[in-house]
Structure 1
Amino acid sequence: MRSVELFAGAGGLAIGMGNAGFQHAAVIEWDHYACETFRENQRHHAHAVEGWPVHEVDARTFDFSSLTSDIAVVSGGPPCQPFSMGGKHQAHRDQRDMFPEAVRAVRELMPKAFIFENVKGLMREAFIPYFSYIHLQLQYPQISRKKGEKWIQHRSRLEKHHSSNKNAPTYNVLFNVLNAADFGIPQKRERVFFVGIRSDIGAEWSFPKKTHSEAALLISKWIDGSYWDEHQLDRRRMHKIPNRHARQVQLLSGNADSLELERWRTTRDALLDLPDPEVHPNNGIANHVFTPGARTYVGHTGSALDEPAKTLKAGHHGVPGGENMFVKDDGSIRYFTVREAARLQTFPDEYEFHGSWSQTMRQLGNAVPVRLAEVVAKSVVNSLMKCENNKKPSTRQIVR
């Protein structure tokens, strides 16, 4: 199945889509450094991006009529700064709001499905009116905004159309907040996903179920001690249950249901076989370079090694949020290297990033974790394939 990737950034969602079996007809991204990351990996013949048709353009100028009509899925992460907790909170007033372009792509390509990702902040109470507007536009992309029409007027027109019950939505659209840690990514990263299936397809789909849990991690650390054994660490750590977990551990003790899922993966899991770049600067690993200057301050204390990392941030100025660092076993802190951050975002180790530390960390902070993208994309492709197979006539019917 062929797909189009919008606002591709560093390629996390696009690689996940590729891993799920989609072939990109176009990968669209305006940031030069992100596009150089793609090109550099293509020069190195990195499997993840081999053959990608990369377009370094503003999505607002891209001509979708230049593509063939067999696009099955449109995916992308519209720039999240208008809605992020660390942004300016201007929503539709922010010129970086690219949801109108996401809707335009759906309207002009009419794919079988689409997958869009954004920050959890999009669902904050202050943004609910605009959130509902995005949802309605994705359900009825063919009802476009008229010239000079304000978005609130357009939303009203969409609401009237939706409530009339005369026509079914063009796309059945579901949204949900997914925590990457619940799907085996070593990072607590909550993001909202919009997934739409064209209503005439007749496909049934639901969000994938969680595969990992915090409860299983707590059991492995504070009840059976298997986590410490895996990492060959002193079990005496078991006697230091953090106060915030004590009550939860007590409730989990003897609860067999808590073991149905795999345990959350931790920062230590992700960095396990990487040498300390400060001790081994000539380690020969791409993007694994020590960056000095890490320090803690109020609200920014770094990630704990034995929990999933805190959300990697792209940042608005200088150091990305001051939070892209972790606490070492000796209590000192240091910044994640680009390679370590890539591990937290589940990029393949062969994938290299172009630009300075701040530029590449910005790419990573904006990225969709590859593994999470793959999980969502596979659930969509499986639903579409099942629907297609159900519509095919059986061999017996063909013979007749």
Structure 2
Amino acid sequence: MKRRVVSLFSGAGGMDFGSHAAGFNTVMALDNFAASTETFKQHFPETDVITQDIYTFNSSKKNPYPSAEVLTGGYPCQSFSMGGLRDPANDDRSNLFLGFADAVNKIKPRVFIAENVSGLAKLQNGEWFKKQLHVYTHELGVKYRVYWKTLNAADYGVPQMRKRVIIVGVRSDVDGDFEFPEQTHTKSEWAKKKKLLPYTSHGEAIKHLPPHPSGEYYERPHDPEGNFSWYFMSRNRRHRWDKPAFTVVANFRHVTLHPASPVMELEWSNLADGWKQKWRFTDEYDHLEFGAAFPRLDPPRRLSWREAAAIQTFPAHFNPTGDLAKKFEQIGNAVPPLLMQKIMEQVKILL
């Protein structure tokens, strides 16, 4: 019998694709973003999917949740993200974890798993992170042993450098300690020495997809600045074919470049004056050393949504609903399914 999962802030189902791959079953999913819940319904037709904010749902009745052994949730992270305003005190999303904690009290799962950006543990000397840990360890109606760790998805075979804080609570009557999955991948130059696999190449992960997927990536038509704004060109947006990708982001304007685009080089830098830089494209295409069959992308382009989904390790049949911006928002906000699978396999040992 498969263990039951309730998924909050479920998005397009990144955590749930991973949970199902590990042998669990999501019985209920909740999110306030209609495009995400529509995507979820299409890929998990047997799950009860609800479009509503968590506070309204929690107050709808004494206990609106089904029974479940596991509760998961990746509550919004924009107020803690390096790419956001980083002003959690003035952002209502900063306290959404309290809605998650209320759900823990109502469901009383044997295990809960919360995910957030790595900046959560660092921002304002970690005060917001400590606040969350205090609630989970001291203010719940049932006692939980709480474990946390910052994981890099690339360390587990995901073709992307993506660091996230994972918080795991184990109900006090459950025997055994939770152990985070052991690292399986590392930098290629360290792999043999550490007896690990080299990081997964994001070029290899997407080379089967078409080189010119019209309508699947963001462009700036008829803009005098060209296809890439000054802000986009203020940093290196391209990683090598044979390396993991940079973090897949939720904003389709800032998604990084396909590795078959030309190499970028630093034109000038003035970091002392507001972190200003300017990068430019060269005539070099170093992907040909690793993916010679893939054509040179001239002009260069951003990753397509299908490529971003593959880098996130969504299954090949994954197709998010909505326009291009909403597709990228769902993909970029997701927990990589492969990373979640590794975590849930460790949870399975306890259950």
TM-score normalised by L of structure 1: 0.71
Cα shift at 1:50:
3.3
Match for residue 93 of structure 1? 90
**C-alpha separation between the residues in 1 aligned to 2:122 and 2:140?**
27
Aligned equivalent of 2:146, options 165, 170, 173: 173
Gap change, CA 1:24 and 1:323, over 3 Å in 2 = closer
Q: Which residue of 1 aligns with 2:197?
A: 262
For the residues of structure 2 that align with 1:62 and 1:304, how far apart are their CA atoms? 45
- Percent identity (aligned): 31
Give the alignment partner of residue 363 of structure 1, picking from 330, 333, 346. Answer: 330
Q: Structure 1 residues 267 and 86 mapped into 2: Cα distance closer, same or farther (>3 Å)?
A: same
C-alpha separation between the residues in 1 aligned to 2:175 and 2:241?
A: 45
- Contact 2:237/2:256 (CA < 8 Å) preserved in 1? no
The 1-side partners of 2:144 and 2:89 are apart by 22
Q: Secondary structure at the match of 1:377?
A: helix
Q: Shift of the alpha carbon at 1:290?
A: 4.9
Cα distance, 1:23–1:192 mapped onto 2, change above 3 Å: same
Question: What amino acid maps onto 2:256 in structure 1?
Answer: N
Q: What are the residue-to-residue correspondences of 1:330-369 with 2, within 5 Å?
A: 330=296, 332=298, 333-369=300-336
Structure 2 residue 68 is matched with structure 1 residue 71:
yes
SS at match of 2:69: strand
Q: Secondary structure at the match of 2:145?
A: strand
The CA distance in 1 between the partners of 2:314 and 2:174, in whole Å, is 32
What is the SS of the residue equivalent to 1:325?
coil
Which residue of the partner structure matches residue 383 of structure 1?
Answer: 350
The one of 172, 179, 201 aligned to 1:199: 172
Cα distance in structure 2, aligned partners of 1:141 and 1:113: 16
Q: Conserved in 1, the CA contact under 8 Å of 2:258 and 2:302?
A: yes
SS state at 2:258 partner: strand
Corresponding residue for 1:277? 212
Query: Do 1:65 and 1:108's aligned partners in 2 also have CA atoms closer than 8 Å?
Result: yes
Residues 102-153 of structure 1: CA distance to partner in whole angstroms, max 9, x if unpaired? 111111111101011000010114151221111011113436xxxxxxxxxx
**Structure 2 residue aligned with 1:133:** 131
SS of residue in 1 equivalent to 2:161 = coil
Distance 1:139 1:342, change over 3 A: same
Contact kept, 8 Å, 2:27 with 2:46, in 1: the verdict is no
Contact preservation (8 Å) 1:175, 1:192: yes
- Partners of 1:92 and 1:291 in 2: CA distance: 33
1-structure distance, mates of 2:192, 2:90: 50
Counterpart check, 1:307 vs 2:307: no
Query: Could you tell me whether the CA contact under 8 Å between 1:268 and 1:306 is conserved in 2?
Result: yes
Given the alignment, which residue of 292, 315, 328 partners 2:219? 292
Q: What's the secondary structure of 1:187's corresponding residue?
A: coil
Tell me the amino acid that sits aligned with residue 362 of structure 1. Answer: E
Q: Which runs of 5+ in 2 are unaligned?
A: 221-226, 261-284, 286-295
Query: Amino acid of the residue matched to residue 107 of structure 1?
Result: N
3-state secondary structure, aligned to 2:234 = coil
Which amino acid counterpart does residue 211 of structure 1 have in structure 2?
T
Equivalent position SS for 1:335: coil
CA RMSD of aligned residues (A): 2.1
Deviation string, structure 1 residues 59-115 (Cα, Å, up to 9, x no partner): 1111471334x3111101010011111112122431112111111111111110101
Amino acid corresponding to residue 138 of structure 1 in structure 2: Y
Cα distance in 1, alignment partners of residues 51 and 17 from structure 2:
17
Q: 1:73 to 1:347 in 2, by over 3 A?
A: same
**Can you give the 5+ residue segments of structure 1 that lack an aligned partner in the other structure?**
144-168, 219-251, 282-287, 385-400
CA distance in 2, matches of 1:193, 1:90: 21
Matched residue, 2:57: 62
Contact 1:4 1:27 (8 Å CA) reproduced: yes
Could you tell me how far apart the structure 1 residues matched to 2:240 and 2:255 are? 11
Q: What pairs with 1:98-109 in structure 2 (closer than 5 Å)?
A: 98-109=96-107
Secondary structure, aligned partner of 1:71: coil
More off after superposition, 349-358 vs 188-197: 349-358
Structure-2 separation of matches of 1:349 and 1:356: 19
Q: 2 CA distance for matches of 1:195 and 1:92?
A: 25
Deviation at 1:353, TM superposition (A): 1.0
What are the equivalent positions in structure 2 for 1:234-253 lying under 5 Å apart? none
Structure 2-normalised TM-score? 0.80
CA-CA distance at 1:172 after TM superposition: 0.7
Which of the two has greater helix per residue?
Answer: 1
Residue 15 to residue 92, structure 1, CA distance change in 2 (3 Å): farther
Q: Which residue of 2 aligns with 1:51?
A: 46
CA distance in 2, matches of 1:88, 1:256: 41
Whether the 8 Å CA contact 2:29–2:47 is kept in 1: the answer is: yes
Please say which structure displays the higher CA radius of gyration.
1
Q: Which has the higher strand share?
A: 2
